[in-house]
């Protein structure tokens, strides 16, 4: 509901509608609303319409009027200052006079939209965007509390406070989760990591030279165990998904008298000049009330081209840019950690630069959170690709995603397992996200890591049926680079959470602990050891095999047939993933997924190399090659 919607009705109709919703009478206007009407800034009719919108939306009247385009920020600030008899902060004070407040975390000041400014008279004062905000700060020093506050734009105050506390905020973004749940301590020992890796490689080479058939057999044995474990794991998830049905796309309306919450969306952008304009257009299609949307474009300080591109675009009032100070590691999770304190919503969501979310997505998310139990703190949407017809690789990538997000993830959630998150179309209860310390800035799959950290602390993730379109990586080398980053992050996540296996078992419980093992060990082993299984094609074609001295030919042939059966089963899973109306055209391509997996093995070898020499390196994926597909 918006003011423009209500204007379609006459005054009597919307007043009657308001009364039918449970109000005994039309409530009096708030102080700011009365002031705006008395000064002739807005009409009494528009003020009352904004008040009705506020009955459904957890937003103050000034946010509603700004989002509707009825007032600009400078007009609202003048009204706030005038009604309370306060002075507005000058541009000079905002640009040069902010200071940290001793004893108060600057992140708390930023979350509150406040800053301490030292004026030309040398006096330090608190500046806020509305008079009531100063009272909510609480434990300010007495001297600051006694002085009348200044009025200034919220986002300008956040930027001023961020500049004043730059060093502290940069350090906090790099080390937000506890060290025991982060991989950041690895950077202290790169030589040790390299020495261990070289030792293991050397031992493998030596053992292979001394006992070639036996070592080959050991790798085959482990690959076989993880292959059948993976097949059983997938089968269990498929059966659970079949029993549970598809994730619900539409959620029931909010309970009576409940208000829609404010939702902040973080959109990290790095070298995304090609796609920035299209992104803003897509986000503008969201039907959630704009007075409740807080979209933050997260930009890197060193990325001057993207900053220039965004600066040249007129952003709507519910969208803004936050500049992340340069630091290490230069990763997406570090940028989101920094921007988290700038969020205003009680729900925080994540989009990627190339995303095209369903227009009603946030409405469905808000409804589900309102109905979900308190321990459900994360909702994962379904990711899909909008360019599946671009080439063979795009088709295979789409088949893989459809199977993962429409079959495997819902099945794993139904089985009660902890699930790795998907990086985008994620929504969190903000208080829990802050409680856990946000994201691990050093983990290049911060999404998978956070999914298991949530589970370790007793929280649950649900998969919801709302869909976001993404751009399939449809060139071989960029695909390998992206997948190697994901696999490197998987390795990192597994090693971090397995530092203390007994504690992990205690926190997850036996069922989820062994599900964690099955998921990570099979995923990593199957990519790395796939060539050992491919060797059994030699047996099917009657050619010599390295295990001929160890196993009889009949045994090798039996193994070959079993592997072929598992491969056919996997093709069946892929066909199930694309059996819906949206992807049915991909069914004939499912058998070719067997030719798609060798790329993953190359990516896994690259990931192993980077784990040793550059574990925190973020191999950037370029976007914007399929904009026409997205718009279509």
Give 24's pLDDT tier (boundaries 50, 70, 90).
very low
Decide if 503 contacts 204 (C-beta within 8 A): no
What one-character DSSP code corresponds to residue 328? Answer: S
pLDDT for residue 3: 62
Tens digit of pLDDT for each residue in 116-150? 999 888 899 999 998 888 777 777 888 888 889 99
End-to-end alpha-carbon separation of the chain, Å? 28
Cα gap 192→428, rounded to integer Å:
37
Q: Provide the 8-state DSSP code for 231.
A: H
Helix (H) or strand (E) holding 173: helix 166-174
Q: Residue 341: is the preceding peptide bond cis (ω within 30°)?
A: no
pLDDT of 381 = 96
**pLDDT tens digits along 361-392:** 999 999 999 999 999 999 999 999 999 999 99
- What mean pLDDT value characterizes the chain? 89
3-state secondary structure of 461: strand
- The CATH fold of domain 86-164: GMP Synthetase; Chain A, domain 3 (3.30.300)
Range name among 54-58, 192-196, 472-476 with the lowest pLDDT average: 192-196
Helix (H) or strand (E) holding 3: helix 3-6
Cα dihedral: 377, 434, 328, 419 (round 10): -20
Compute and round to an integer the Cα radius of gyration of the chain.
28
pLDDT in tens, 554-596: 989 998 999 999 999 999 999 999 998 889 999 999 999 988 9
pLDDT in tens, 296-322: 999 999 999 999 999 988 899 999 999
Between the CA atoms of 149, 151, 156 and 159, what dihedral angle is there, to the nearest 10 degrees?
Answer: 0
Strand pairing report for 150-151 and 124-128: parallel
Q: Please enumerate in sequence order all residues whose Cβ is within 8 A of that of 417, keeping only pairs 6 or more positions apart, or say none.
A: 511, 512, 515, 516, 519
Report the share of the chain in percent with pLDDT over 90.
62
Query: Which residues are CB-contacts of 403 (< 8 A; sequence separation ≥ 6)?
Result: 573, 574, 576, 577, 578
CATH 3.30.300 range(s) for the chain read: 86-164
pLDDT band at 2 (very low <50, low <70, confident <90, very high): low
The pLDDT tens digits of the residues spanning 479-494 come to 999 999 999 999 999 9
């Amino acid at each position: 509901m918006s003011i423009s919607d209500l204007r379609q009705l006459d005054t009597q109709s919307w007043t009657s509608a308001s009364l039918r919703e449970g109000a005994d009478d039309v409530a009096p206007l708030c102080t700011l609303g009365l002031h705006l009407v008395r000064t002739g800034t807005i009409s009494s009719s528009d003020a009352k319409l904004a008040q009705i919108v506020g009955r459904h939306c957890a937003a103050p009247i000034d946010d509603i009027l700004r989002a509707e385009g009825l007032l600009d920020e400078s007009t609202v600030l003048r009204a706030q200052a005038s009604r309370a008899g306060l002075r507005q902060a000058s541009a000079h004070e905002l640009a040069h006079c902010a200071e940290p407040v001793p004893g108060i975390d600057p992140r708390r000041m930023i979350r509150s939209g406040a800053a301490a400014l030292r004026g030309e008279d040398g006096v330090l004062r608190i500046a806020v965007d509305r008079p009531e905000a100063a009272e909510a700060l609480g434990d300010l020093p007495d001297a600051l509390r006694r002085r009348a506050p200044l009025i200034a734009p919220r986002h300008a105050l956040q930027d001023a406070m961020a500049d004043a506390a730059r060093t502290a905020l940069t350090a906090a973004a790099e080390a937000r989760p506890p060290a025991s749940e982060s991989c950041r301590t690895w950077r202290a020992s790169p030589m040790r990591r390299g020495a261990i890796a070289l030792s293991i490689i050397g031992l493998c080479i030596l053992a292979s030279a001394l006992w070639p058939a036996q070592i080959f057999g050991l790798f085959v044995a482990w690959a076989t165990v993880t292959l059948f474990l993976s097949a059983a794991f997938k089968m269990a998830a498929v059966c659970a998904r079949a029993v549970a049905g598809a994730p619900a796309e539409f959620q029931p309306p909010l309970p009576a008298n409940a208000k829609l919450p404010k939702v902040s969306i973080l959109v990290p952008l790095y070298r995304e000049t090609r796609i920035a304009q299209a992104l803003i257009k897509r986000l503008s299609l969201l039907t959630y009330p704009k007075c409740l949307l807080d979209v933050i474009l997260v930009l890197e300080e060193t990325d001057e081209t993207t900053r220039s591109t965004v600066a040249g675009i007129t952003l709507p009032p519910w969208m803004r840019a936050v500049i992340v100070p340069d630091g290490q590691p230069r990763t997406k999770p570090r940028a989101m950690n920094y921007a988290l304190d700038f969020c205003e919503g009680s729900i925080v969501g994540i989009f990627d630069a190339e995303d095209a979310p369903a227009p009603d997505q946030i409405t469905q998310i808000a409804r589900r959170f309102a109905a979900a139990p308190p321990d459900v703190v994360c909702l994962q949407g379904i990711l899909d690709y909008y360019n599946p017809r671009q080439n063979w690789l795009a088709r295979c990538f789409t088949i893989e995603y459809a199977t993962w997000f429409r079959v495997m993830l819902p099945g794993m959630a139904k089985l009660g397992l902890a699930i790795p998150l998907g990086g985008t179309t994620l929504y969190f209860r903000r208080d829990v996200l802050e409680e856990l310390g946000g994201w691990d800035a050093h983990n290049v799959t911060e999404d998978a890591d956070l999914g298991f950290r949530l589970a370790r602390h007793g929280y649950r993730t649900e998969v919801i049926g709302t869909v976001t379109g993404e751009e399939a990586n449809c060139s071989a080398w960029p695909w390998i680079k992206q997948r190697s980053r994901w696999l490197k992050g998987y390795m990192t996540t597994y090693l971090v959470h397995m530092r203390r296996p007994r504690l992990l078992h205690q926190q997850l419980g036996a069922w989820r602990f062994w599900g964690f093992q099955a998921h990570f060990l099979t995923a990593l082993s199957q990519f790395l050891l796939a060539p050992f299984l491919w060797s059994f094609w030699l047996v099917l074609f009657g050619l010599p095999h390295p295990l001929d001295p160890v196993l009889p030919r009949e045994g090798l042939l039996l193994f070959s047939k079993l592997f072929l059966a598992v491969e056919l089963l996997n093709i069946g899973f892929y066909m199930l993933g694309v059996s819906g109306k949206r992807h049915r055209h991909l069914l004939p391509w499912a058998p070719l997924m067997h030719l798609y997996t060798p790329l993953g093995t190359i990516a896994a070898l690259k990931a192993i190399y980077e784990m040793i020499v550059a574990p925190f390196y973020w191999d950037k994926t370029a976007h914007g090659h399929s904009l026409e597909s997205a718009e279509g």
